[in-house]
Structure 1
Amino acid sequence: MTAPLPRPWRPRALARFLVAAPLLAAGALTGAPAAHAAPADDVRINEVVTTGDVNDSVELYNKGTSSVDVSGWILKDDDASHTYKVPSGTTLAPGGFRAFDVSGAFGLGSADQARLYLADGKTQVDGFSWSQHSDPSWSRCADGTGSSAQADSVTLGAANDCGTGGGSTSPVAWPGGSSVATADGSNVFGEDLSGLYQDGGVLWAAQNSGKLWRLVRDGSGGWKPDTANGWSSGKTLRFPGGSGSPDGEGVTAAAGALFVASERNGDASGTSRLSVLRYDVSGSGSSLTATKEWNLTSDLPSTGSNLGLEAVTWIPDSALTAAGFKDASTGSAYDPAHYGAHTGGVFFVGVEGTGMVYGYVLADSGSYTRIASFSSGLSGVMELQWESQASRLWAVCDDTCDGRHQTLAVNATGAFASAAAYNRPTGMPDYNNEGFTLAGADECVAGAKRVYWSDDANDGGHALRRGSVSC
């Protein structure tokens, strides 16, 4: 068995480490204090004020254990040309807050976003979007790690007010068994296994290296690669025309096809290409060429090339209309007939770098319409899963936010809103889980059913794990 790599050098962790590399290099060259050595992603947008008695402001918070020098970092709204530069000499101590009045540089609107970048103005560290003015404050609860919601009062420069009138849903214990077991053989998949989707007796898995796996049950509660029709080692993914290497991050099924969310072309990894790709998986060849691509890059806020689309799930039109879902593009109840030929549902994609979720109708013609955008309640989204049995949307974060799971449901206003937040099962270490899926209602036994996670880092030589959740 190959010994697992130390956590600081795993691929995803390494990518985040490289975000902080300019700070580390600066300290090494100038003899600056250790403040430069803390990870950049410990800094979070913690509170935003867009209207009221306080000027438009953005508060930063250091959730880490070391000081971070944020001198020269850049704040932006939804317009990339609007910038506010953090003053020189600004350092955030562990657990420290610092608010910045950005009103002299730009105004924060009723439907806007706040984004934080390193001093290069290109590397995004964090972001938060909203669809209405703060009343009085958009605040993370708990500070630095929770989801953002309307808090009870403005607390710029101090801990957020997370009283009963506002704030986010506090995480509670996992709603299922506490034990977790491996669900694959030793070193079958290696690193970079990401999105999951269970379709009855088949488990689909997307891998960042541009590969899709078809897995079948192994007879002992786990999964193994299907050996039929060329699936033994997974199949290589290609963009339409047979070129490129899609960075497969999320996978779902709809209308007799598989759909993969990709954040970039592996052959040009420094450039974002935020796409949903459709594949016909019925053949026996060793590769799969997309039959359609919906490139959403121009419609979404820019992120780092490795912080883009990380998740995708499909929700049937019937489920959305039954719940009274509101179409944000029309301001009225969602009407599938308005969009002509499409898959019979809406695709929801999650952005890793901002924690935002966007809903799209993907037309058969190749066009698309965005009909929803909302916060997942997490600082980053690595997986989305629609659970039809409970009519709820699961959003999952990896070790960036300690393996938190968030559920969302359509509320009385027709929008997706937080329903519950859960800690990971106590029996599972804080793995770099980028995939999550649930068994169907037909697998409920004694009030519980299986769930599965995929570990991007292949901890201990295993990339799949299984647990349970209440039906």
Structure 2
Amino acid sequence: MRCFWRSGGQRAGFRWGTRGFKVLSGEFGPVPTTHSRARVATLCVAALSVPGLVVTGMLAAQPAAAADPAGYQNVRINEVTSSGDDTVELYNTGSTAVSISGWKMSDDSFSAKSFSPSAGTIQPGGFVTFDSPKGLGDSDKLVIYTSGGTVVDRVEWATDKAKPAMARCGGDGTGAWVTATAKATFGAPNAAGCPASLPAASKVRINEVTSNGSDTVELYNGGTSAVSVGAWKYVDGDTGHSAAKISSSDPSATSIPAGGYVTFDSTIGLGDNDSAFLLDGNGNTVDSVTWATDAAKPSDERCADGTGWFRTAATATLGSANSCSGGGGSTGGTGGQPGQLLGGGGSLTSGCEPEAPSGSHSAPSGTLAWPGGQDVTIADNVCAFTTSTGPEGRDVSGLAYDPSNPSVLWAVKNKNWLFKLTKSNGKWIPDPSWSATGKQIRFSGGSGEPDSEGVTVGGNGHLYVTSERDNTKNSAPKDTILEYDPAATGSTLTPLHQWDMTSQFPQLNTGDKDDANLGFEGVGYVPDSWLTGNGWTDPLTGAAYDPADYPLHGSGLYFAGLEWDGTLHVYGLNSNGTFTTFGTVATGKSSVMDVTFDAGTQRIVATCDNTCGETHTFMKVDAAGAIVPDVTYTNPAVMPADNLEGFALAPASTCVDGSREAVWSDDGIYGFGSKTSSSGHAIYSGTFPC
């Protein structure tokens, strides 16, 4: 719709575009550059009553465009090739499926055309591919639109940059755009095509945007060296706009120091339901962000700087560190969320009850930064662990990969539930062939409700679960390790063996349920071969550990983590129901929430949640034969400081390009708080070096 008027020699007007009304020319008082359809219709009608103004044309209202599907902003171009089939891959970073029926695409030379995708709906964490209806060139542009004409995402590349493919690296749907170093990976994660090292420019991120007045864009350099941006350009979601140079918007914005910021005011205007695309001096897309109505008011910011997902901020912090003081907001082109990027937009789906974290403390001295990727994704469906017992959906605690099948992840929920999880479209979901809703576990005799906190897979393939209480008598401790056969049928499992160590911890038996809740929190199976191969000294004999001295214990020992004081308690679990106590191991932490043995690093890993600053201590056998802390890492900075009680590292056999999966579980499904996209989710996924 257009509206023009004349006043003397002045001609003014507005045009309705895909993002709202824009001033075309002239003046009609202090008119902002972008208005809603209703607001400009009001201005046009108002013009009829202004003396001296003659309305020269007002087009009839057009039929309303098709509504954009829910979650469309979470769909991102993930990979594209201009070599051969001119194939495009889309990826859904969100937690819900998105219909792409009627969507279109264009390049830099033809108008939007329909395409034929491999599926009409993109599942959460899923891929859809299609061949471009028109060829894609060596130096070209690709724009994706909803059926209503809204720009979803776009990418541009210079000569040969899309051969064999141009792909996001460092997180499907979100990582930095780079030229693939191997063959294209259409329909699958991009990691196999990522180069060994990323260019310095790829560390620059759109960090904050505001469409509230000044239409300002902030860039952040998360790299270790300065990046020149004087020749870089930016453009909004209006495909009729030409890209503008950053330096023309702000002559001082020529270089971003390492860890520094550059801001500039957009000369092409930013509106509601808009986008910002950042291009380097060669025309390659560097980063992008798309936001909904009012999401960039007062601003839309990453949390944390340069790495996190975008959220609507309570206060703009242009030129300085983001406040992370707002709620969920939009999509962006950095790190994380094969599934859904941490901190993303959206509100909590009803049906489960988050529990805010408690007991946050700083990390131990000497703690190192997370050595893996800084991108983390939400890796389960919202409210996925809702069961018939206990607070809805909460209390997912221990995690353990199955060493015989690393595509299986075992999880325990405190209120006596065991889950077998498998991957589907990038998410860990309950395996429907085992139980789509988990299986209840009991103590020996089929009674009680184990307060199941930790889980590990023993050398015999059975599951060993720690419990600190019986939830039917939660003021009394019941520190036990229970053995279950995962092949057993039925919806309720009873233990093959049960070892009760409660009498060893009188400090927990005070009649106070809080004390009783500080017992066995995690457990890890440690093979005898590692203990003997590293020269562990048997505390019972003072000599080198000899498994033959304990003929009923199986092929390894079990290290149970005590939340009370952060110690590991070492046991041989005998087949006759007795156990051997090998003493304690100090972790240097005030608490332990999970324990795992990682064959990749050849270390025992003791994990603590926000009680110890979200840290993981890797334990080794020292020259004296004692198990001691080796190194402690924090979580990736983008993660929330919650009761993240479960932690596991994928076996080294799953390594791709030097990385493997790391997973965390949130005991309180709190995420970044109420109505953020992470609220209601329990499982997070990241990467760890091989």
Tell me if TM exceeds 0.5: yes
Whether the 8 Å contact between 1:145 and 1:379 is mirrored in structure 2 is no
1:186 aligns with 2:382: yes
Match for residue 448 of structure 1? 659
1:293 aligns with 2:498: yes
Q: Taking CA–CA contacts closer than 8 Å with sequence separation of 6 or more, which of the two structures ends up with the larger relative contact order?
A: 1
* Aligned with residue 269 of structure 1, among 461, 471, 474: 474
Match for residue 688 of structure 2? 469
- 1:217 is displaced (CA, Å) by 1.0
Match for residue 104 of structure 1? none
Match for residue 484 of structure 2? 279
1:328 aligns with 2:539: yes
Match for residue 213 of structure 1? 419
Provide Cα deviations, 1:143-181, integer angstroms capped at 9, x if missing partner: x752xxxxxxxxxxxxxxxxxxxxxx6001101011110
Whether the 8 Å contact between 1:175 and 1:469 is mirrored in structure 2 is yes
Provide Cα deviations, 1:227-273, integer angstroms capped at 9, x if missing partner: 114x1111001011111111100001111211000001111111001
Q: Could you say what secondary structure the match of 1:327 adopts?
A: coil
Q: Greater Rg, structure 1 or structure 2?
A: 2
Q: Equivalent residues in 2 for 1:161-176 (5 A)?
A: 170-176=366-372
- 1:187 is displaced (CA, Å) by 1.1
Question: What residue identity is the alignment partner of 1:248?
Answer: S
Match for residue 319 of structure 1? 530
Instruction: Pick closer, same or farther for the CA change 1:272–1:195 going to 2, 3 Å.
Output: same
Distance 1:284 1:321 in 2: 36
Q: Equivalent residues in 2 for 1:35-434 (5 A)?
A: 146=364, 170-189=366-385, 190-199=393-402, 200-220=406-426, 222-229=427-434, 231-254=435-458, 255-300=460-505, 302-303=507-508, 304-434=515-645
Q: Could you say what secondary structure the match of 1:267 adopts?
A: helix
Q: Could you say what secondary structure the match of 1:241 adopts?
A: helix
Question: What residue identity is the alignment partner of 1:217?
Answer: K
Whether the 8 Å contact between 1:4 and 1:458 is mirrored in structure 2 is no
Question: What residue identity is the alignment partner of 1:299?
Answer: Q
Q: Could you say what secondary structure the match of 1:313 adopts?
A: strand
- 1:329 is displaced (CA, Å) by 1.5
Gaps of 5+ in 2: 1-347, 386-392, 509-514, 671-678
- 1:3 is displaced (CA, Å) by 6.9
Distance 2:424 2:351 in 1: 24
- 1:214 is displaced (CA, Å) by 0.6
- 1:431 is displaced (CA, Å) by 2.1
Whether the 8 Å contact between 2:456 and 2:525 is mirrored in structure 1 is yes
Instruction: Pick closer, same or farther for the CA change 1:207–1:5 going to 2, 3 Å.
Output: closer
Match for residue 45 of structure 1? none
Question: What residue identity is the alignment partner of 2:451?
Answer: D
Q: Could you say what secondary structure the match of 1:321 adopts?
A: helix
Q: Equivalent residues in 2 for 1:16-35 (5 A)?
A: none
- 1:4 is displaced (CA, Å) by 11
Match for residue 238 of structure 2? none
Match for residue 286 of structure 2? none
- 1:358 is displaced (CA, Å) by 1.0
- 1:372 is displaced (CA, Å) by 3.4
Distance 1:326 1:382 in 2: 25
Whether the 8 Å contact between 2:352 and 2:680 is mirrored in structure 1 is no
Question: What residue identity is the alignment partner of 1:348?
Answer: F
Q: Could you say what secondary structure the match of 1:378 adopts?
A: coil
Whether the 8 Å contact between 1:225 and 1:233 is mirrored in structure 2 is yes
- 1:219 is displaced (CA, Å) by 3.0
Distance 2:379 2:493 in 1: 26
Distance 1:381 1:344 in 2: 24
- 1:215 is displaced (CA, Å) by 0.7
Aligned length: 318
Identity %: 39
Whether the 8 Å contact between 2:352 and 2:394 is mirrored in structure 1 is no
Match for residue 230 of structure 2? none
Distance 1:410 1:175 in 2: 21
Distance 1:299 1:400 in 2: 24
Distance 1:280 1:212 in 2: 12
Distance 1:321 1:462 in 2: 40
Question: What residue identity is the alignment partner of 1:288?
Answer: L
Gaps of 5+ in 1: 14-40, 43-62, 64-143, 147-168
Whether the 8 Å contact between 2:520 and 2:560 is mirrored in structure 1 is yes
Distance 1:5 1:224 in 2: 16
Question: What residue identity is the alignment partner of 2:523?
Answer: V
Match for residue 32 of structure 1? none
Instruction: Pick closer, same or farther for the CA change 1:367–1:6 going to 2, 3 Å.
Output: closer
Instruction: Tell me how large the CA RMSD over aligned residues is.
Output: 1.9
Whether the 8 Å contact between 1:327 and 1:372 is mirrored in structure 2 is no
Q: Could you say what secondary structure the match of 1:186 adopts?
A: coil
- 1:210 is displaced (CA, Å) by 0.5
Q: Could you say what secondary structure the match of 1:233 adopts?
A: coil
Whether the 8 Å contact between 2:643 and 2:668 is mirrored in structure 1 is yes
Distance 1:6 1:237 in 2: 22
Distance 1:239 1:455 in 2: 25
Q: Could you say what secondary structure the match of 2:516 adopts?
A: coil
Question: What residue identity is the alignment partner of 2:643?
Answer: N
Question: What residue identity is the alignment partner of 2:485?
Answer: D
Distance 1:179 1:3 in 2: 27
Instruction: Pick closer, same or farther for the CA change 1:297–1:389 going to 2, 3 Å.
Output: same
Q: List, as ranges, runs of 4+ consecutive aligned residues in structure 1 with deviation greater than 4 Å.
A: 3-7
Whether the 8 Å contact between 2:521 and 2:592 is mirrored in structure 1 is yes
Whether the 8 Å contact between 1:176 and 1:470 is mirrored in structure 2 is yes
Distance 2:600 2:373 in 1: 19
- 1:392 is displaced (CA, Å) by 0.4
Provide Cα deviations, 1:355-408, integer angstroms capped at 9, x if missing partner: 011111111111111113121121110011100121101111111122111111
- 1:283 is displaced (CA, Å) by 2.4
Question: What residue identity is the alignment partner of 2:414?
Answer: N
Question: What residue identity is the alignment partner of 1:205?
Answer: A
Q: Could you say what secondary structure the match of 2:444 adopts?
A: coil
